[in-house]
Amino acid sequence: MILTFLQPALGCEMLKKGYSGKVTTIIDGDTVFLQNGTKIRLIGIQAPKLALGRDGFKDWPLATEAKNILSSLVFNKRVELYFGEQSKDRHNRILAHLFLINSEKEKIWVQKYMLEKGMARVYSFADNRLCLDDLFKAEAKARANKIGIWNNEYYQIRYADKVDKLIKLNNNYELVEARVLKAQKVGSYIYLNFGKDWKKDFTVIIKKNALKLFAQSNIDPLKLENSLIRVRGWIEIKNGPMIEVTHPEQIEVLARNE
């Protein structure tokens, strides 16, 4: 099986070098504080989440382990920040790729390191799409070797025909595999349907703003019909389980249509 993406992910050469700082606090597997009080969210990955006192929220499996691995790498050490398209989110966190210079003068890319250790998944945004190719490769290798989260049921790849299981995963970030039964445009949206009953079966929706990004990349999602794909995103229940795709990198093509 040949794994491809709808387009090659944008490269790291477009990142902008920022400032450096010493990491003094580890919040979880993808969030740290610098000595100057700056809160950094490691863009491009999602580590298992800790509840951190939030009502109704439970620690995800291996969340403490992910925090400990990140801490062992960067705590009390100086890192360099590199920025993509957006450098701050709505929570006022700085969004950055972190690079650590170790004692051997080697530059360690922190996001890639966490993926290689199986302590994170690739997690991209429509306004932050740089530097994903190497991250996807690191994730795929850890997943193939069943390292870290990939050896835990909570993070396993889901399948679109298991609708009852997907419904129970409402508000979860998931990777879902299936063959696209039908791709159709309805108004300004495109729907990828994976079953005959669109009111009950799993669906992918690509809205108007996202379609602009597909068009800019010369990608026609309608041509995905009958292709075997893997889509990543947040499960919502709207006439059955669905994922909204906001940018092309959320879709991996496992086998093209014939």
Q: Does the pTM of the predicted model rise above 0.75?
A: yes
Q: Is pLDDT at 51 greater than 80 in this prediction?
A: yes
Band of pLDDT at residue 11, cut at 50, 70 and 90: low
Q: Is pLDDT at 9 greater than 70 in this prediction?
A: no
Task: Provide the Cα torsion 83, 86, 92, 94; round to 10°.
Answer: -10
Averaged confidence pLDDT in the chain: 91
The whole-angstrom separation of Cα 137 and Cα 252 is 12
**Cα separations (Å) of 49 from 31, 66, 79, 91, 147?**
10, 9, 22, 16, 18
Q: Name which residue leads in pLDDT, 205 or 88.
A: 205
Per-residue pLDDT averaged across 145-156, rounded?
Answer: 97
The pair of structure tokens assigned to 187 is 């108004």
Q: How far apart are the first and last CA of the chain?
A: 14
Q: Is pLDDT at 115 greater than 70 in this prediction?
A: yes
The pair of structure tokens assigned to 11 is 């490269």
Task: Choose among 49, 243, 2: nearest CA to 155.
Answer: 49
Residue with tokens 């950055």: 96
CATH 2.40.50.140 domain span(s) along the chain: 157-255
What is the topology classification, in CATH, of domain 17-151? Answer: OB fold (Dihydrolipoamide Acetyltransferase, E2P) (2.40.50)
CA angle at 193 for the pair 192 and 199, rounded to the nearest 5°: 125
CATH 2.40.50.90 domain span(s) along the chain: 17-151
CATH for 157-255 is 2.40.50.140
Q: Is pLDDT at 6 greater than 60 in this prediction?
A: no
Q: Name which residue leads in pLDDT, 247 or 11.
A: 247
The whole-angstrom separation of Cα 172 and Cα 54 is 16
